[in-house]
């Protein structure tokens, strides 16, 4: 299994707005080969810290998504958020290979 985290900080007063955006996400990724799950995580001590977690069967499956037109389309939509402060946020991406269960 391969897991990708994209962590970003938003002003705490905007966290609920961002959560609502993700609750209505496009779900384009859901149909990609090897996609297992999506979660949006909120840090319980720092409510403005959010992490998108994607789980994939393999690293290659993730790379196929990350180089696809659908990936580009999803991330282009993010640049069009009405709130330009949110649109300009750059996440910190971490990638993990599951090595034990």
| Domains of the chain with bracketed CATH | 2-97 (3.30.70.100)
Give whole-number Cα distances, 11 to 18, 45, 48, 76, in Å.
10, 14, 6, 22
pLDDT band at 25 (very low <50, low <70, confident <90, very high): confident
pLDDT band at 80 (very low <50, low <70, confident <90, very high): low
pLDDT over threshold 90, residue 43: yes
| Cβ count within 10 A of residue 69 | 8
Owner of token pair 């998108």: 52
Q: Is residue 36 a contact partner of residue 57, using CB atoms and an 8 Å limit?
A: yes
Residue (of 53, 54, 13) closest to 36 by Cα position: 54
Between residues 85 and 54, the one the model is more confident about: 54
CA distance 24 to 73: 16
């Amino acid at each position: 299994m391969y897991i990708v985290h994209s962590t970003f900080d938003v002003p705490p007063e905007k966290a609920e707005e961002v959560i609502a955006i993700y609750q209505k996400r496009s779900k384009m990724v859901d149909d990609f080969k090897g996609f297992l799950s999506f979660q949006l995580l909120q840090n319980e001590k720092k409510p403005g810290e959010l992490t998108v977690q994607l789980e994939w069967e393999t690293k290659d499956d993730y790379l196929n998504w990350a180089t696809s037109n659908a990936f580009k389309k999803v991330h282009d939509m993010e640049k069009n958020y009405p709130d330009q402060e949110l649109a300009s946020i750059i996440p910190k991406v971490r990638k993990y290979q599951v090595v034990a269960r």
